[in-house]
Structure 1
């Protein structure tokens, strides 16, 4: 009960209303007015409460916290004889202990301290709003700080707002909630009766889903993930396991084995379906074309789903691509959609891949539909014609990626009939499922971050008409689990070869150390987190060169100093050294920013100088001049970009420019709200290209490297020093 969210549908509300009989003619409580009769009758008929005497309900009496706990625990169906974790409260009377323990364990209510529940105090209406919102599993927007009621403070505003949205409360007046007044027994009856379609939502079918996305060849995580999957299946034996794409690209395991290690481990996990990510098409321009992708597909013991991708023009996929929904899907094949039987119910699953793949990968002869919304609606309609009313969209279009192209939020808004979206592409860690749509046609969206660091889980309940009425879920962190022995055995030969490759020389040679200085407590010492460095210059040059292959208009590239982790010794540079410099597995992204926004970013970059700042931006393609004698926020003197002839042109505030950086920074990492805003507005494109691979390409291009700085970042108070380096 702790995290489960109930969704009141019109069907559910009608069914429950029909089950509640009107107040009987021989209603015995003389203190219950017409306003409260139906609510009190509802509580009596459902065994939630009794009166305070044979003739008195106690309508206008304030309700104590212990009595409210008993009432809510009964509403939720907790058994007075059940076993619950001891809450630790020493002031709860024995007759109420079961209820308080049950609600504390389920996260519905808490005490005023670790040992005190404050049992005999009265519950205020503010406190009642929070308890009821938690108990009913209402969707609470934690960002809400105000309501239409002037007496509700920010701490309780989200909960009162949730009750307002759900029709559970109307307040004392148009402007007063009566926030600090005690809740009466009559009011509690009204609240619970109005929330009945949340407390008593009729779930006729429940389904569990495990999900992964954007694993990007991080196969060393997978033996622990196998254990997490097996543990979840022990508790939920009929659960589905789905992958939302981007298995390819990102580590030496892919460079060396092109998905072979991944698919063997995925077969061990027993996936039910996977859709294609943009990176599955990265090898299309190689001499072998998509042979590695074909081998990956045919080696799978599970099917692939893809409704907006057409493989028919590529002979490598002849016989593998089926354009019809299959009720008997076979492993190693691609379908527009499939039907799986889960606990005796038919569940439809279809796939979508971002159209951006045409620009950020190498699909070759493989093409993508221009209208993903239409393709998705077509799939929902085909499932409906088959009598399938529970539909899962397995997508690689991004949770909140560029809305002008495609994303999950737009998909949920544009297509009626999708119950669950299991997504990928934006590497979004949705700690809780996101509910989109209205109560008559809700859609639950989930995504599990990146790199196999988490296993996503979702429990979703449907009513008899196939409408979602409840959901629960989250992310299981991968890290503490024991490694599955069979998975370790499968991975061993691949791991041995990768470790050997890490020692291999790239062909580049450092003629002097490429240092990664840190200042520590010495504010006069140089640091990668406040000064231009040769290593930062090479990294950003590699970013800019690679970005221009996809966006020729890109003018500059940025790298956060905190992401540069190690130095490189003098001599031949190994693959392992390259990876140690950029170990986080970031990807390359492009951003559309105005000149004013870029300057705002550099105010953040140099704002801590001479102190270190992990968000300090190294630069390629331009020059930043700042004055450290000025206050933070007013230090940037100029930002210029380099023309082809080597001259510099200062940015125009209102002009829009294409910038390259890593995805972490592009999403607002290190406090770059200006970038976060651009990301939220769909002005960021994650190219998905590995940062260390881009860095390695630049090192190899340079060959023999003499470390030097070039006056790209200049503090005008130290300009003579910088120019003399």
Structure 2
């Protein structure tokens, strides 16, 4: 018995300590909650949209977002944003002076955000002012612009100083409930290409920066690594930047993916990386629950998107902040223009095509129709005899809903850009193109809009037919123009046509020439045909000598229609359906080769040349073979 007692005691001790081991391993798992948004675009107040039954409703706004954050926050919560927090509403007017976006993100309790391309819409000096204004508020979210590169010139140093004053960092360790979370932020390649003006700054390579940040954060003891990426995802994985980033840098645990306005109902898993997106304009608050295991690995415990519908009560404190900013917009921006924030400009009897649908589907849409018509209307109101107007899908940011159309809603539709004097909204330009150049412009539309939806065109005073089965830059078969009396006729190659569009779109003409190495040229000209690559020379002016604005053109046009009994303009039935400015024709031998473009003719010429060369080579070879046989026959006859 005495000999067995130590063995018995040892067995009891082993059982005592071994049973809780598994339980201890389970208990050592730690949970972390990540709340996230991206692409808020200054939607500080609720906005109109359509519900699942296509009825007009309101959603979003920071006061509702505040409520959702409070409802979903726990003791282990990280709250982050992936950029494009600004630009999209009349609150843009306060960007330089009051920084409402960053200030309110601070009030909402955000831990960190990053820069999107739209933070650069007004240039780096405006971004500098925004950061300095936001730095005065407390708290404000840490700005993580990890691949932004500052130069050695004085302007760069001045901007860098503003970033430092604000408290911008390349990486940051944020501790939540004892868990060290490493966070960094990136601007992707596509976002960079859509950045209006980031000079004198530049961007470092995304992958190299990410690897460096991950290494830095690990050296600081990060247990979970999160990237705030303004890059986005696409259906085609080859073009899905954040999926490619996850493959290239597998040690990133979570990518909060902004820029493409994607709504992911369930996360994308790429290796050990989780990619999440919550849509845009604050329509959802993303909720990601992670488990940090004892072995250091991270798994997804739960994921949800909390919709910011009108059933969500508004937080009163944030609502008061928002209303204060609204009053400031009215006083400082709208009153000098003789406008009211909620002033009704017109009534619509229908819901227009949504701007998102115009991006997703190639073809015609009535929101593009009314925008381009407004540009022609406004040109004529200011003594400009343009007959063609063009815009692109990326410049149409919202749509017109059934019911009242207000000043703020009109601005939301055409909210991007500013003039050189700092006044909000892209200015309109008017210039001339030859008919042959307008044909090229039309060819670009079906050739590339499906790959780059933002460049899809909407047209007024111009229409074309196309066969989608034809070669790129040869899809368009015929192009017609409309004169001031409404008559249509085929476009004439060597005739100058007067057109109007946003300065942003006009600036793209030079980009097209550069990208194609001069193979495709679109050169703005004056009435005499003289070229000028400086599109600022073509800015349209109002009768008062101010820059004509795209958003004011739409506001003016909306108020010009026949009035109802209350004296309010009613948008006419001609806009109930999209007009047929782009007409697809069925494929046949006739429509495939009809009216080939100069690019197709050049290609056909090359192909024909190659065929002729091959034929000549074959004939020469045959001739030599026949000659060889004849020589052999003569030789044998002699023998």
TM-score where L is the length of structure 1: 0.47
Q: Using the TM superposition, give the Cα deviation of residue 246 of structure 1 relative to its aligned residue in structure 2, in angstroms.
A: 1.0
Q: Using the TM superposition, give the Cα deviation of residue 266 of structure 1 relative to its aligned residue in structure 2, in angstroms.
A: 1.6
Indicate the residue corresponding to 2:373 in structure 1: 538
Of the candidates 299, 303, 313, which is equivalent to residue 142 of structure 2?
Answer: 303
Does residue 54 of structure 2 align to residue 215 of structure 1? no
1:250-289 alignment runs, 5 A limit: 250-258=88-96, 260-284=99-123
Indicate the residue corresponding to 1:486 in structure 2: 317
Q: Using the TM superposition, give the Cα deviation of residue 342 of structure 1 relative to its aligned residue in structure 2, in angstroms.
A: 2.1
Of the candidates 409, 429, 433, which is equivalent to residue 243 of structure 2?
Answer: 409
Cα separation, partners in 2 of 1:311 and 1:401, compared to 1, 3 Å: farther
Partner of 1:219: helix, strand, or coil? coil
Indicate the residue corresponding to 2:65 in structure 1: 225
Between the aligned partners of 1:265 and 1:306, the Cα distance in structure 2 is 19
Indicate the residue corresponding to 1:419 in structure 2: 253
Cα separation, partners in 2 of 1:601 and 1:452, compared to 1, 3 Å: closer
Indicate the residue corresponding to 1:376 in structure 2: 210
Indicate the residue corresponding to 1:39 in structure 2: none
Does residue 464 of structure 2 align to residue 624 of structure 1? yes
Does residue 491 of structure 2 align to residue 648 of structure 1? yes
1:373-522 alignment runs, 5 A limit: 373-400=207-234, 407-437=241-271, 442-479=272-309, 480-498=311-329, 505=337
8 Å CA contact 1:203, 1:461 repeated in 2: no
Between the aligned partners of 2:130 and 2:195, the Cα distance in structure 1 is 18
Greater fraction of residues in helix: 2
Between the aligned partners of 2:158 and 2:235, the Cα distance in structure 1 is 31
Partner of 1:426: helix, strand, or coil? coil
Any unmatched runs of 5+ in structure 1? 1-45, 47-76, 78-199, 323-330, 508-512, 521-528, 544-553, 603-615, 627-635, 651-658, 663-692, 717-725
1:18-37 alignment runs, 5 A limit: none
Between the aligned partners of 1:432 and 1:289, the Cα distance in structure 2 is 34
Which structure has more RCO (C-alpha within 8 Å, separation ≥ 6)?
Answer: 2
Indicate the residue corresponding to 2:435 in structure 1: none
Between the aligned partners of 1:407 and 1:563, the Cα distance in structure 2 is 28
Indicate the residue corresponding to 1:365 in structure 2: 200
Indicate the residue corresponding to 2:551 in structure 1: 696
Partner of 2:173: helix, strand, or coil? strand
Of the candidates 570, 575, 578, which is equivalent to residue 410 of structure 2?
Answer: 578
Q: Deviations over 1:12-62 (max 9, x none)?
A: xxxxxxxxxxxxxxxxxxxxxxxxxxxxxxxxxx9xxxxxxxxxxxxxxxx
TM-score where L is the length of structure 2: 0.52
Q: Using the TM superposition, give the Cα deviation of residue 349 of structure 1 relative to its aligned residue in structure 2, in angstroms.
A: 0.6
Partner of 1:421: helix, strand, or coil? strand
8 Å CA contact 1:561, 1:617 repeated in 2: no
Between the aligned partners of 2:460 and 2:28, the Cα distance in structure 1 is 57
Q: Using the TM superposition, give the Cα deviation of residue 217 of structure 1 relative to its aligned residue in structure 2, in angstroms.
A: 0.9
Between the aligned partners of 1:531 and 1:273, the Cα distance in structure 2 is 39
Cα separation, partners in 2 of 1:642 and 1:416, compared to 1, 3 Å: farther
- Indicate the larger mover: 379-388 or 255-264: 255-264
Q: Deviations over 1:226-256 (max 9, x none)?
A: 11111112xx222000011112211111224
Q: Deviations over 1:183-237 (max 9, x none)?
A: xxxxxxxxxxxxxxxxx9997222101011111111110011111111112xx22
Q: Using the TM superposition, give the Cα deviation of residue 333 of structure 1 relative to its aligned residue in structure 2, in angstroms.
A: 0.7
Between the aligned partners of 2:223 and 2:36, the Cα distance in structure 1 is 21
Q: Using the TM superposition, give the Cα deviation of residue 408 of structure 1 relative to its aligned residue in structure 2, in angstroms.
A: 1.0
Of the candidates 79, 104, 110, which is equivalent to residue 241 of structure 1?
Answer: 79
Indicate the residue corresponding to 2:446 in structure 1: 598
Between the aligned partners of 1:226 and 1:517, the Cα distance in structure 2 is 34
8 Å CA contact 1:312, 1:321 repeated in 2: no
Cα separation, partners in 2 of 1:534 and 1:505, compared to 1, 3 Å: farther
Q: Deviations over 1:398-453 (max 9, x none)?
A: 1239988872111111112000011211111112222111xxxx111111111112
Q: Using the TM superposition, give the Cα deviation of residue 534 of structure 1 relative to its aligned residue in structure 2, in angstroms.
A: 7.2
Indicate the residue corresponding to 1:292 in structure 2: 130
Partner of 1:409: helix, strand, or coil? helix
Of the candidates 139, 145, 157, which is equivalent to residue 315 of structure 1?
Answer: 157
Of the candidates 13, 29, 32, which is equivalent to residue 204 of structure 1?
Answer: 29
Between the aligned partners of 1:561 and 1:396, the Cα distance in structure 2 is 18
Between the aligned partners of 2:33 and 2:228, the Cα distance in structure 1 is 15
Partner of 2:32: helix, strand, or coil? strand
8 Å CA contact 1:224, 1:481 repeated in 2: yes
Cα separation, partners in 2 of 1:487 and 1:425, compared to 1, 3 Å: same
8 Å CA contact 2:369, 2:458 repeated in 1: no
Between the aligned partners of 1:560 and 1:365, the Cα distance in structure 2 is 28
8 Å CA contact 2:207, 2:245 repeated in 1: yes
8 Å CA contact 1:394, 1:422 repeated in 2: yes
Between the aligned partners of 1:404 and 1:497, the Cα distance in structure 2 is 45
Partner of 1:360: helix, strand, or coil? coil
Task: Give the paired residue count.
Answer: 410
Partner of 2:217: helix, strand, or coil? helix
Between the aligned partners of 2:178 and 2:75, the Cα distance in structure 1 is 13
Between the aligned partners of 2:550 and 2:369, the Cα distance in structure 1 is 13
